[in-house]
Structure 1
Amino acid sequence: MTNNHSALQLDTQDSTPELEASYCGPLLMIESHIIENRRRIETWFREQWRKTPAPFYSSVDLRNAGYKLGPVDTNLFPAGFNNLNHSFDPLVVQAIQSAVEHACPDARGMLIIPERHTRNRFYLESLATMAELFELAGFETRIGSLDELDKPAHFELPSGRTLTQHPIHREGRRIEVDGFSPCTIVLNNDLSGGREEILEDLEQTVVPPTALGWWHRSKFNHFSHYQALANELADLIDLDPWHLAPMILDCGQIDFMKREGENCLQEKVSEMLAAIQTKYDELEIKEKPFVVIKADAGTYGMGVMMAQSAEEVVGLNRKQRTRMAASKDGRSINRVLIQEGIYSFERLGSSGHVAEPVLYMIDRHVVGGFYRVHTKKGQSENLNSPGAEFVPLPFTQSCVTPAPDASPDSDQNRLYCYGVVARLALLAAAREQQDLTGDAADAPSAG
């Protein structure tokens, strides 16, 4: 997902990523369907947001193979705000104001709760950017800490900013920082390590709800919702939903260290590869199918492996099994999602490095994004890994509207199409939120 904080910022003078020419035709067909049906799509989204309000914020990792454009991960506690195009800060500020109004209409202040025990300067830069954006939106903002601090911790950042994390304490059903007790707490911790008692049963509004943490969330459940929504939208615009949705299978229970569940994994991988090959044959796609095996819960690109044959998942060596046995915060992996692999045929200019778009949303609004680029990874590999670099998306106008008079594959229309797929993933997350919190009325409303 998008919480890989160890990345550097690329020099963007090389150029923005472009799709390999041989795949432009199929993508043009997908983009044309979306642009031609933009009124139906926007009306459909408005109806959906009324039924199922959007989460407070999110980011979505996309892959573009030309013949297929789909999400591969949806993060509900995103970092990386420092990598966005700051020309669009006014759009972000407006979206924040809307989201906070729906979460806590009387809010005057915000308390951000970040990841534990982090000194990663890239993540701290993201926190500093978040705090600045909330301040620009008109909210007094502090950054708390779940660590046991006896005094504020100050960090000097490469940008020249100073970030301060404050000790927090609980008074009754409220969390305070030196007497600062805002109505809204913004959680930027995905709770991979489990529930945090101090965040339970608060009278303050916590966004996103703690129930959306990885202690409770399932990627299989998320992508099941996504597939159902992709089917509905594709039917609306007369498009094969396969072009927008990766196929998925569930496999659990599994224990990589004890080699338990290997037969199930082998069978599911074989089944998935056969299904992909059938679709490739139907559409005369010459690429070799592959699958992505990933932890059913977790982030940071951990607990992920690729396979082009069922034999590759049997008899893993100790290093491979160790890598797949645990994710962030040492969380054991005992259930995995098997996902259709989507190639990324977008490459960065003359360097030819593989790239994938990542879009950010606040409430139901697309507010920006970047291309994740990796100089040492191929078009079928996981780019969310150490060494990734970021190029802000080349928005020249509003990043949320199409340009009907331009070619469907113009920059603005392509980014609009990315936004449609990202919002579809956001809507799937909204349905997750409704499932996990039990009452959509308790979720932040999209109006």
Structure 2
Amino acid sequence: MVPHLVTALTGPINELEQRILDSMPAIERWFRLEWMEHTPPFYSSVDIRNAGFKLAPVDTSLFPRGWNNLTDDMLPLAVQAAQAAIEKICPEARNLLVIPENHSKNTFYLANVARLVRIFHMAGLNVRVGSIDPAIKSPKKIELPHGESVCLEPVVRSRRRLGLKHFDPCTILLNNDLSAGTPGIVEDLHEQYLLPPLHAGWSVRRKSNHLHSYEEVSKRFGKLLGIDPWLINPMHARAGGVDLAEGKGLDVLTSHVDALLTKIRRKYKEYGINEKPFVVVKSDNGADPMGVMTVRDVKDLEAFNHRARTRGAAANDEVRASGDLIVQEGVLTNERVHDGVAEPVVYMMDRYVVGGFYRVHAERSPDENLNIPGASFVPLAFSESAHLPQPGAKPGASAPNRFYMYGVIGRLAMVAASYEMEATDPDAETYE
């Protein structure tokens, strides 16, 4: 199954596809050299938008929560990648503890946890699920819709280690993005590997750091391929000290939005693109549930300001105090699956692409956020051997070529995440 592009399959995206296919040996060597110098995130997922003239990542998660959307055909790749990741970190590993989010009634999310348990069990580990939810006081088995089940057990914290009753793990895998803060129970562990590290959690992490790292990566990769980095990079700006719930900083935000829209118009004119530019405004702090606002004109900010004031009055202080916003170049998605607007999501473990899916939303437009209730998921065909890239195929005619291109963009975002984690590591040594 291959989605169709609404835009004509001509122009920059086909040139980019051709350049990527022609440069495959150089690209793979570039990635190999990167991973000799940098450590990839343990696992990650990247939302990508294909505008037909531009292909760019718009969001990178270091706690991916949709593993149940990968097909069984993709499992062997995930298992192999899990084995490689564990061997690097803890070759003698025997026991793995998965710590999920606390919303134990969400069966769709728990199906994702069950899939993670299955992947690591098949990778040769004893895997159990330990909940840090205070409501879980004894083992709780939850039956899932497709015949699977997951058993949540209360974690046990000793002076230096975290585990379960009669279960001492060498490695702890967080599938909890820590948006509610870093619980003390997972801090100061002794001789246990905690993955991802605590500074990857949204209580600490900032989107602007990732976007800054990705901009650096896209410039270096653009130089390698001889392309304009803009074709793979969403421009962005950070508006600090904005508190819309209090009506403060609207002028700062307006200035950034206006400047970025001007830059996008300039690029559209350069490439002869007949689309209306837009930006998305979202919190720099992923823990802030502000959502995503699509802005096509600075006048839209008045409505945004009114909404923020209304929500701020009714919501908690975390929303009200969200003072740093990201203004990011909006990237259209011109892909369609079953007549619904679609965007690819690439899943990776260690440095490997292990699968992905299309997020599809029939009720959203090409310039809107699709990651909201009502979305459905259609698997990508990354793992089928018949779907290896075909260098001789005409650009735009081959789905495997497009999937390879998505994998390259996903891995670029993964490299950026490794830069980001190194730059923000509180334990990293600094030298004068």
Counterparts of 2:231 and 2:282, CA distance in 1: 21
In structure 2, distance between residues paired with 1:283 and 1:399:
35
Deviation for aligned residue 1:373: 0.2
Q: Which amino acid in 1 is paired with 2:237?
A: L
1:435 to 2:418 alignment: no
Shifted more, 69-78 versus 27-36: the winner is: 27-36
The secondary structure found in structure 1 opposite 2:378 is strand
The Cα shift of 1:38 comes to 0.9
Per-residue Cα deviation, 1:80-110 (whole angstroms, up to 9, x for no partner):
1010121021111000001111121211111
Q: C-alpha displacement at 1:173, in angstroms?
A: 1.0
Matched, 1:385 2:366: no
Secondary structure of residue in 1 paired with 2:39: coil
What is the aligned partner in structure 1 of residue 251 from structure 2?
263
Instruction: Give the superposition deviation at 1:388.
Output: 0.5
Contact 2:2 2:399 in 1 (8 A): no
**Relative to structure 1, is the Cα distance of residues 364 and 325 closer, same or farther in structure 2, using a 3 angstrom cutoff?**
farther
- Which of 265, 281, 284 does residue 269 from structure 2 map onto? 281
Change (3 A) 1:315 1:357: closer
Alpha-carbon distance, 1:117 to partner = 3.1
Determine helix, strand or coil for the equivalent of 1:100.
Answer: helix
Q: 1:68 to 1:323 in 2, by over 3 A?
A: farther
* Maintained 8 Å contact 2:346/2:357: yes
DSSP-derived class of the 1:263 partner: helix
Deviations 1:314-359 (A, max 9, x none): 35464454558999995552211100000000011xx421000000
Q: In structure 2, list runs of 5 or more residues that go unmatched.
A: none
2:314 and 2:414 map into 1 onto residues whose CA distance is 27
Backbone CA RMSD of aligned residues: 2.2
Q: Which residue of 2 aligns with 1:334?
A: 323
Distance in 2 between residues matched to 1:199 and 1:382, nearest whole Å: 33
CA distance in 2, matches of 1:398, 1:222: 33
Task: Give me the whole-angstrom Cα distance separating, in 1, the residues matched to 2:195 and 2:129.
Answer: 14
Counterpart position of 2:363: 376
Secondary structure of the structure 2 residue equivalent to 1:294:
strand
Q: Distance in 1 between matches of 2:315 and 2:328?
A: 18
d(CA) in 2 for partners of 1:36, 1:326: 55
Indicate conservation of the 8 Å contact 1:303/1:327, yes or no.
no
Check 1:166–1:326 CA distance in 2 against 1; reply closer, same or farther (3 A cut): farther
Q: In 1, are the aligned partners of 2:355 and 2:381 still within 8 Å (CA)? A: no
| 1:150, distance to aligned residue in structure 2 (A) | 1.7
Report the alpha carbon displacement of residue 436 of structure 1 after superposing the two structures with TM: 2.1
How far apart, in 2, do the equivalents of 1:128 and 1:19 lie?
Answer: 34
Which residue is 2:176 aligned to?
189
The CA distance in 2 between the partners of 1:394 and 1:31, in whole Å, is 18
Structure 1, unpaired ranges of 5+: 1-14, 442-447
Pick from 72, 75, 78 the counterpart of residue 89 of structure 1.
75
Q: Which residue of 1 aligns with 2:333?
A: 344
Cα gap change, 1:70/1:174 in structure 2, threshold over 3 Å: closer, same or farther? same
Contact 1:257-1:325 within 8 A present in 2 as well: yes
Residues 45 and 251 of structure 1: is their aligned pair in 2 closer, same or farther, counting only changes over 3 Å?
A: same
What TM-score, normalized by structure 1, do the two folds share? 0.91
Indicate conservation of the 8 Å contact 2:6/2:335, yes or no.
yes
What residue in structure 1 maps to residue 411 of structure 2?
A: 423
How many Å separate the matches in 2 of 1:380 and 1:325? Answer: 28
- Deviation digits for residues 61-90 of structure 1 (CA, Å, limit 9, x no counterpart): 000001100000000001110101210211
- Check whether the contact 1:366–1:399 (CA below 8 A) recurs between aligned residues: no
Give the match for residue 44 of structure 1.
30
Of 338, 363, 371, 2:350 maps to 363
Give the Å deviation of 1:302. Answer: 4.9
Deviation at 1:440, TM superposition (A): 7.2
Higher mean Cα deviation, 296-305 or 281-290?
Answer: 296-305
- Closer, same or farther: CA 119–302 of 1 in aligned 2, 3 Å: farther
Report the identity percentage.
45
After the TM superposition, which segments of 4 or more aligned residues of structure 1 sit over 6 Å from their partners?
324-329
Partner residue, 1:445: none
Is the Cα–Cα contact under 8 Å of residues 23 and 65 in structure 1 kept in the other structure? no
Structure 1 CA distance for aligned equivalents of residues 288 and 245 of structure 2: 21
Offset at residue 400 of structure 1 (A): 9.4
Structure 1 residues 376 and 150: CA distance shift in structure 2, 3 A: same
The structural deviation recorded for 1:301 is: 7.8
Write the distance in 1 (CA, Å) between the matches of 2:270 and 2:28.
Answer: 31
Letter in 2 for 1:131: V
Matched residue SS, 1:226: helix
Structure 2 residue aligned with 1:354: 341
Aligned to 2:236: 248
CA distance in 1, matches of 2:148, 2:371: 26
| Comparing 152-161 and 416-425, the one that deviates more | 152-161
Q: Does 1:80 align with 2:69?
A: no
Q: Secondary structure at the match of 2:199?
A: helix
Q: Return the alpha-carbon distance in structure 1 between the equivalents of residues 311 and 3 of structure 2.
A: 31
Q: Which has the higher contact order (CA 8 A, sep 6+)?
A: 1
Residues 251, 388 of structure 1: alpha-carbon distance in 2 compared, 3 angstrom cutoff? same
Number of equivalent positions: 425
- Where does residue 414 of structure 1 map in the other structure? 402
CA separation of 1:248 and 1:380: change in aligned 2, threshold 3 A:
same
Q: 2:294 aligns with which of 306, 318, 337?
A: 306
What's the secondary structure of 2:11's corresponding residue?
helix
Q: Within 2, Cα distance between the matches of 1:281 and 1:328?
A: 43
User: Could you tell me the TM-score, scaled by structure 2's length?
Assistant: 0.94
Q: Contact 2:347–2:353 at 8 Å: present in 1 too? A: yes
- Pairing 1:136–2:122 present: yes
Aligned to 1:162: 149
Residues of 2 paired with 1:62 and 1:324: CA distance?
Answer: 31
Which residue of the other structure, out of 103, 110, 128, is the alignment partner of 2:89? Answer: 103
1:212-259: CA deviations, max 9, x gaps?
Answer: 111111111101110111000111111110000000000011112101
* Aligned: 1:214 with 2:202: yes
Partners of 1:274 and 1:430 in 2: CA distance: 31
Give 1:372's aligned amino acid: R
Structure-2 separation of matches of 1:325 and 1:337: 22
Report the counterpart of residue 11 of structure 1 in structure 2: none
- Taking a change above 3 Å as real, the CA distance of residues 119 and 399 of structure 1, as seen in their structure-2 partners, is farther
Contact 2:245/2:308 (8 A) holds in 1: no
